[in-house]
């Protein structure tokens, strides 16, 4: 996400996606060893194909927003399962002090090193953000660590990849999505290890970070969200009312812990070395 969008202080206890920059000085926690990451991570390997939304795994954000930059309120009404997909929507439906409602889900458990994968399709619209990411932060009494895939739907031909360590954005990059994120389902994956972080689009390596200062070290929750802004024009584009609901659909999400067998055909975890 944009480096200016990082304030989770207004979130409910389970947290949520974007916000204004937060200064976090917890150097001891940032120096966690791989063993500490494994110890604090409670999430196990799984594959979810969204025949239902597994209540034991997912929390639906509902009734708040992440700050002044966000022009919508998280609403459970914008989250549903249909035709084997998780569907998150953004629409003009006033809720609380916002004119629009939007959808987000997050895991209840935290996950550590491993392979994270999602197969999803987005709608289009200037001023909107369709995201698959992991996050932990001050709302959880932890430093702000994060790993992102974000489709800025003003231009669905690309996806932004990025990571945060202690609230600081590192080496964000826009990469191509062949055929477009809005024209069909695409596979997005990142492999998070103690020594490196790699992002993949449709099985192809698109970005890698090995600098130890740019590698998250705290177990994180998995999020999917679709939200809008009226203020972050330079990053997400000038917001225009889309005139109809915009949605993103997630066909599958998976987490594979290090050393475990890949869980489905075509998984990035099947080819890792």
Q: Which one of 40, 109, 146, 172 is the catalytic residue?
A: 146
Q: Which of 117, 150, 172, 265 is catalytic?
A: 150
Q: Is 150 an annotated catalytic residue?
A: yes
Strand partners, 84: none
Does 193 participate in catalysis according to the annotation?
no
As annotated, the active-site residues are 146, 150
């Amino acid at each position: 996400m944009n480096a200016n969008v990082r304030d989770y202080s207004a979130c409910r206890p389970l947290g949520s996606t974007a916000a204004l920059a937060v200064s976090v000085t917890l150097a001891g926690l940032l120096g966690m060893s791989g063993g500490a990451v494994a110890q604090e991570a409670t999430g196990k390997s799984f594959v979810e194909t969204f025949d239902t939304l597994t209540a034991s795994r997912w929390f639906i954000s509902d009734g708040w927003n992440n700050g002044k930059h966000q022009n919508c309120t998280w609403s459970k009404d914008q989250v549903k399962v249909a035709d084997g997909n998780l569907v998150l929507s953004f629409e003009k439906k006033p809720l609380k002090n916002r004119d629009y409602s939007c959808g987000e889900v997050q895991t209840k458990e935290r996950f550590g090193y491993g392979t994270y994968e999602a197969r999803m399709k987005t709608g289009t619209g200037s001023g909107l953000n369709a995201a698959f990411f992991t996050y932990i932060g001050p709302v959880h009494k932890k430093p702000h660590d994060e790993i992102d895939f974000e489709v800025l739907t003003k231009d669905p031909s690309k996806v932004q990849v990025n990571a945060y360590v202690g609230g600081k954005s590192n080496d964000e990059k826009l990469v191509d999505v062949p055929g477009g994120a809005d024209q069909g389902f695409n596979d997005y994956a990142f492999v998070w290890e103690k020594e490196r972080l790699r992002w993949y689009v449709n099985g192809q390596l698109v970005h890698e970070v090995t600098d130890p200062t740019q590698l998250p070290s705290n177990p994180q929750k998995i999020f999917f969200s679709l939200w809008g802004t009226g203020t972050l024009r330079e990053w997400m584009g000038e917001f225009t009312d889309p005139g109809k609901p915009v949605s993103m659909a997630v066909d599958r999400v998976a987490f594979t812990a290090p050393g475990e067998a890949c869980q489905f055909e075509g998984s990035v975890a099947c080819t890792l070395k």
